Amino acid sequence: MAAGTETTLIQPTTRQRPLLSPAVAQKQVEQVIRAHSKTFFFATTLLPVGARQAIRALYGFCRATDDLVDAAEKCCTGVEEVAAWRAQVDLPADQQSNPILYSWVRVRQAYGVNRLYEQQLIDGVAMDIQFQPYQTWSDLERYCYHVAATVGLLSMPIIGVAGDSTFEEATPYAVRLGVALQLTNILRDIGEDARHGRVYLPHQDLERFGLTLVDILNEVYDERFKALMRFEIARARALYRQALPGIRLLSPSARPAVGAAALLYRAILDEIEKIDYQVFQKRARTTGVKKLSMLPGILGTIWSIKRP
């Protein structure tokens, strides 16, 4: 997973008054998002203020949880850190002194978020810490569910579903979108991950195109690799196609933000193609100017989506 700023872990303590105000904590959340996901920051500006702040608090929690991977690589096994983080996440807001967790726990309590998905997200980070190469697409899909689809499921109580929809109806679409987003991340970051000794693409897929884990770690770039990338990009695009109808099941105020996030991320696949799949040497990205230029078309697409 992509590197991020480190978050200091704090062991659970006895009840204490928070050292933070909501405004101070939210300011730190905003700084984390600006530093690590310009696409997410841009997309969430389309939400109403209350939902925007709450979703950004969720992102801050996800980012801080992901930072456990970086901490584990630098100093220790990470198992103890994950356990300590779980215990800290369990604390109510008035016992939090970590600004990111303070913001998130307030949101979690206010919106009645199902903590199962919160714990599954932490499980996904634990999978990264104790990383093992994935054998099949089903194995990788399970990982993508834990680290990304859970974020969509945590989001839905905050952004809401349409009056003619239910959480249960929207769930499969949220899961597909989360998997698509994470697969896009994986394809964009193949080079960075390889330099950290990690290959996320399934062994089965590599074998299909005559490649091995060692080839990816050695940054082999040839026609076999290009064919592999075309295959994985087609898989990601299929997931986006399956997921997008679910945007119609969300509350009208949430659709522009979720749709923009999905379609801007899908555009990264286009950028990978434009650099001829040279993800070992280059990072595919969409500029701020391009995001703005895409927005009218994105909004048109979103409002044309029919209920599945």
Question: 0.95 exceeded by the pTM?
Answer: no
Over residues 13-34, the pLDDT tens digits come to 444 444 577 777 777 777 776 6
Distances (CA, A) of 25 to 9, 88, 99, 211, 252: 16, 16, 5, 47, 28
pLDDT of residue 166: 96
CATH architecture of 132-308: Orthogonal Bundle (1.10)
- Side chain identity at 20, as an amino acid letter? L
Please report where in the chains the tokens 């434009």 appear, as a residue. 274
What six digits make up the tokens of 101?
């967790």
Please name the residue ranges forming H helices in 91-222. 99-111, 115-129, 137-144, 150-159, 167-188, 190-195, 203-208, 213-217
What six digits make up the tokens of 270?
């286009």
Please give the distance of CA 308 from its chain centroid, rounded to a whole number.
24
Going from N- to C-terminal start, the domains of the chain cover 16-114, 132-308
Nearest to residue 151, comparing CAs of 241, 64, 61?
61
Please give the distance of CA 91 from its chain centroid, rounded to a whole number.
24
Between CA 66 and CA 139 the distance in angstroms is: 20
pLDDT of residue 71: 66
What six digits make up the tokens of 107?
């949101």
pLDDT of residue 72: 64
Positions in the chain whose pLDDT score sits under 70 = 1-19, 33-37, 71-77
pLDDT of residue 105: 94
Backbone angles phi, psi at 7, to 5 degrees: -115, 125
pLDDT of residue 13: 43
| Residues with Cβ within 8 Å of residue 34, at least 6 apart in sequence | 41
Between CA 232 and CA 57 the distance in angstroms is: 31
